[in-house]
Structures are given as structure tokens and as C-alpha cells.
Amino acid sequence: MKNLKHIIAIILVAAAVAFTARADDSQTAKPKPYPLDTCLVCGMKLGSMGDPYVFVHQGQEIKVCDKSEQAAFDKDPQKYLKKLADAEAKLKK
């Protein structure tokens, strides 16, 4: 019975260490760079009103004119990610 408790404890510790290592890897991975020179939300040229606000969403760097526009992005991120994908495809042509 004591051996079973020790084995379970070792398994739990190993799982916790593995989970922690995986969580650290995801946070140190570099996000995909933002390819546009315009704001993803309003379309204005980035930098025309000061430094852009930069954040990361699901591994993709996003740049907007200011922090308040992140709220608009957060309301419908799929809309803006599609807009970004369409703009990237247009750039590749």
C-alpha cells in the first residue's frame, strides 16, 4: 500500500513538471510578426498618431493605433484575423 502511494506521488510530480515545462515553452515562443503598416481595426497608418499599441492574440502579433482599439478587436477577433489573413494574401500576390 505504501509503495502504491509513492508511485502515485511520483507520477503526479512528473506530470506537474511536464505541464510546467510545456506552459513555459508556449510563453517563450515568438509571435508571428504583424505584416501591415496600417492599424488592423481602423485602417489608419501606424505611427501617424503616436506609437502603435502592440499585443499578441493566439501567437499572432497585432498592432493597432492605441490601446482602446484592442477592445474592438476583442469583441470580434475572428473578423479582424480574417481581415489580416486577406491583407497578407494580397501582399503575397
pTM higher than 0.85, yes or no? no
Q: What is the pLDDT of residue 5?
A: 77
Cα(43)–Cα(52) distance, rounded to whole angstroms?
Answer: 12
Q: What is the pLDDT of residue 1?
A: 65
Q: What is the pLDDT of residue 77?
A: 97
- Which three three-digit cell numbers place residue 26? 508556449
Q: What is the pLDDT of residue 7?
A: 76
- Provide the 10 A C-beta neighbour count for residue 52: 21
Per-residue pLDDT of the chain (93 residues; tens, 9 = 90+): 667 776 776 777 777 666 665 554 555 789 999 999 999 999 999 998 899 999 999 999 999 999 999 999 999 999 999 999 999 998 887
